A = this chain, B = another copy of it.
């Protein structure tokens, strides 16, 4: 299965929740901090408990890079616990000039073996094209993000009346000859999402911002349901993995994603 097929298979089983592995040594339960590698102990248990319910796993590189070389090893190790048929997202937000992006693509797709990546669009086509050359991968390009700063540049009004982020969406559609491009759209921006669903067309959409950031799962699911379309993932990080600070954290995480999946199924039925 290629990356898009994994996403579609998950959606067809009513799985839309992406578990964000924003694993922070300071936030994981006391009980496992004494393990030789607490990060891997935490991730492996979270994955083991949730893998039947997750549509995807998103690894936020920043949380691993703070540990330097060990952090990179932890990314490699964590990927081994994720079943082959579940989409993996390298949330690395890369983007650079062509010869450099080629290296980043090789790092995330070849070395780590991620199915997909998040990318910055700012530097334009040649900064994302080395990623797009990987036919079987998925490239989620930032359109309108979930954070307050999205107003600073993404929502600047262009001379033709559109917003910068809308130009990004149009460009991503043009870049999508290989059917391996998608966008990132903040779940916190529900009105903008609704207004832009037609423009987004059938691009796969990764929606972060539900939970700690204030986005509402039901609003997102309802918005897509209204136009009868799938091909999207709602990322939930902190609200799942830090649901419970006891040693029961993995079972509580499973409970939480099961609940979220039920909410989605109810909305879709």
What is the interface of chain A, defined by CB distance below 8 A to chain B? Answer: 22, 24, 60, 62-63, 65-73, 76, 93-101, 103-104, 106-108, 110-112, 120-128, 142, 145-154, 156-159, 161, 164, 167-168, 171, 208, 213
Give which listed residue, B93, B108, B110, contacts A120 with CB less than 8 A. Answer: B93
Flag if A123 contacts B98 (CB, 8 Å): no
Extra 15 A-B pairs, beta carbons < 8 Å, given A72-B72, A95-B120, A120-B120: A60-B96, A60-B100, A60-B103, A62-B96, A65-B107, A68-B73, A93-B96, A97-B146, A97-B147, A98-B147, A121-B153, A122-B142, A123-B150, A124-B154, A157-B158
**Given the complex of chains A and B, what is the CA–CA distance between A210 and B159 in angstroms?**
32
Question: Which chain B residues border A63 with CB–CB below 8 Å?
Answer: 100, 103
Question: Which chain B residues border A125 with CB–CB below 8 Å?
Answer: 148-149, 152
Flag if B161 contacts A149 (CB, 8 Å): no
Question: Which chain B residues border A150 with CB–CB below 8 Å?
Answer: 123-124
Flag if A149 contacts B164 (CB, 8 Å): no
Question: Which chain B residues border A95 with CB–CB below 8 Å?
Answer: 93, 120
- Nearest Cβ on chain B to A131's Cβ, whole angstroms: 12
In the complex formed, the residue of B with least CB distance to A127 is: B149
Flag if A157 contacts B156 (CB, 8 Å): no
- Nearest Cβ on chain B to A234's Cβ, whole angstroms: 16
Flag if B149 contacts A124 (CB, 8 Å): yes
**Given the complex of chains A and B, what is the CA–CA distance between A104 and B71 in angstroms?**
12
Give which listed residue, B22, B66, B70, B145, contacts A123 with CB less than 8 A. Answer: B145
**Given the complex of chains A and B, what is the CA–CA distance between A248 and B125 in angstroms?**
37
- Nearest Cβ on chain B to A250's Cβ, whole angstroms: 22
Give which listed residue, B103, B147, B161, B167, contacts A65 with CB less than 8 A. Answer: B103
Question: Which chain B residues border A156 with CB–CB below 8 Å?
Answer: 158-159, 164, 167
Give which listed residue, B110, B124, B142, contacts A147 with CB less than 8 A. Answer: B124
Flag if A124 contacts B111 (CB, 8 Å): no
Flag if B67 contacts A69 (CB, 8 Å): no
Flag if B103 contacts A124 (CB, 8 Å): no
Given the known inter-chain contacts A66-B106, A213-B97, please indicate yes or no for A149 contacting B126, CB distance below 8 A.
Answer: yes
Flag if B68 contacts A70 (CB, 8 Å): no
Question: Which chain B residues border A152 with CB–CB below 8 Å?
Answer: 121, 123-125, 171
Flag if A145 contacts B97 (CB, 8 Å): yes
Question: Which chain B residues border A67 with CB–CB below 8 Å?
Answer: 111
